[in-house]
């Protein structure tokens, strides 16, 4: 059974592992320790299978990043993480790689729309990012 909890110190190593498996330019352990209060983790039993991070910026909620362990993808965990942070009263935004079609499809399903492009946004390969926004319902 999937449960979602605030990130605790004991979960950081598992989050870093998922980060390393998911992104070409992963964030390190120190990053997650310093921003621990911004993250939720999805767990099956005691095993961390995914995470999502958010922060408030200028009255909007920014989804910092989200990832699901490769062994646990396509099981609805990403959707559960999004549902845990989304609400109908706030504006949300995020950046997503132009090449990351699976993530774009999930975000669009939850009402996010592409509103702009950040040129050369990703440091690892200078790939562009779509800025996606979800307005209050």
d(CA 101, CA 107): 10
d(CA 122, CA 118): 9
> Residue 82 is encoded by which pair of tokens?
């999004």
Question: Among 19, 39, 51, 107, which one carries the catalytic annotation?
Answer: 107
Question: Among 56, 95, 113, 121, which one carries the catalytic annotation?
Answer: 95
d(CA 9, CA 11): 5
> Is 130 designated active site?
no
> Is 46 designated active site?
no
Q: What is the DSSP string of 15-55?
A: HHHHHHHH-SS---HHHHHHTGGGEEEEEETTEEEEEEEEE
Distance set, CA 51 to CA 47, 58, 79 (Å): 12, 23, 11
Enumerate the active-site residues.
95, 107
């Amino acid at each position: 059974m999937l449960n979602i909890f605030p990130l605790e110190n004991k979960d950081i190593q598992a989050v870093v592992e998922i980060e390393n498996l998911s992104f070409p330019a992963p964030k390190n352990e120190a990053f997650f320790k310093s921003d621990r209060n911004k993250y939720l983790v999805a767990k099956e039993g005691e095993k961390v299978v995914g995470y999502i991070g958010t922060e408030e910026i200028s009255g909007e909620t920014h989804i910092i990043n989200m990832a699901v362990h490769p062994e646990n993808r396509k099981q609805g965990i990403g959707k559960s993480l999004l549902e845990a942070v989304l609400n109908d009263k706030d504006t949300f935004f995020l950046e997503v790689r132009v090449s990351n079609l699976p993530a774009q499809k999930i975000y669009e399903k939850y009402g996010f729309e592409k509103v702009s492009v950040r040129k050369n946004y990703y440091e690892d390969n200078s790939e562009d990012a779509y800025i996606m926004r979800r307005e209050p319902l």
